[in-house]
Amino acid sequence: MELTLNVWRQKNASDKGQFVTYKATDVTPDMSFLEMLDVVNEDLIAKGEEPIAFDHDCREGICGMCSLVIDGVPHGPDRSTTTCQLHMRRFKNGETITIEPFRASAFPVVRDLVVDRSSFDRIIQAGGYVTVNTGGAPDANLIPVPKVEADQAFDAAACIGCGACVAACKNASASLFTSAKLAHMAHVPQGQAERKRRVTAMVEAMDAEGFGSCTNTYDCEAACPKDISVKYIAEMNRDYRVAVLSSE
């Protein structure tokens, strides 16, 4: 396969940046999208040119690092798929592909396709920790958790913090990410002691980072590679109101 790539190149956050066109040759259908970029970078390095900077780590759809906007869609055209799980058989020979970083003021560009998502870390840090004096480690089945609640917690905990929800939202809202991080503790007994303090702190940290408000377009759920439901946003908003009103 041969492809034409329009890639966003930007030296740093203060640089204006621009799209640069490259030819990707010898691309096989079984390559992942990141492997295709590796091949392009090998060619650039061989020519003495600067390789394209992009984030990656596990390449197994677990870490959330491989955050690219491909033809206007975070992580590309396949649902429930991270960029590293996207294969080149999804594209046609001779096709033109546009690749750019996640766009949000809270995700400043570091270089090319790499953005700084440490704002997510600060939201999680605002949530603090769980106060449970357990002594020795108890057996897992000593605290009964209804299966429905356990399933909800596990579903929310599947969030890998990639930021696709922010990139897909017209308001650059982090509500889906924040609500998922809150929900996976809100549905287990160990998370109840700090529930009100946690939701207040994390929502306020989210707002302080400059993320936009949720206007229920559901674009975040559609772009999420782990299919996190927007129902957790409703949960977060309810818990936040309860926490604020009960503190007055």
CATH number of the structural domain spanning residue 43: 3.10.20.30
Q: Hey, which residues does 225 pair with through a beta bridge?
A: none
Handedness of CA 57, 61, 67, 71 (dihedral sign): positive
| Average predicted confidence (pLDDT) for the chain | 94
Q: Is 8 helix (H, G, I), strand (E, B) or coil?
A: strand
Name the domain count of the chain.
Answer: 2
Residue after which a domain boundary falls, among 111, 134, 157: 111
Q: Is the domain of 132 the same as that of 35?
A: no
The CATH number covering residue 141 comes to: 1.10.1060.10
Same domain, 106 and 144: no
Looking at the fold, whether 154 and 102 belong to one and the same domain comes out as: no
Q: Are residues 223 and 200 in the same domain?
A: yes
Domain enclosing residue 74, as ranges: 3-111
Mark whether 35 and 123 lie in a shared domain.
Answer: no
50 has a pLDDT exceeding 70: yes
End-to-end CA distance of the chain: 63
pTM for this model (two decimals): 0.93
Tell me how far apart the alpha carbons of residues 223 and 227 are, in angstroms, rounded to a whole number: 8
Contact between 109 and 53 (Cβ < 8 Å): no
- Do 19 and 136 sit in the same domain of this protein? no
Average pLDDT on 228-247 reads: 95
Cα separation of 143 and 137, whole Å? 12
Same domain, 176 and 195: yes
Residues 86-123 have pLDDT tens digits of: 999 999 999 999 999 999 999 999 999 999 999 999 99
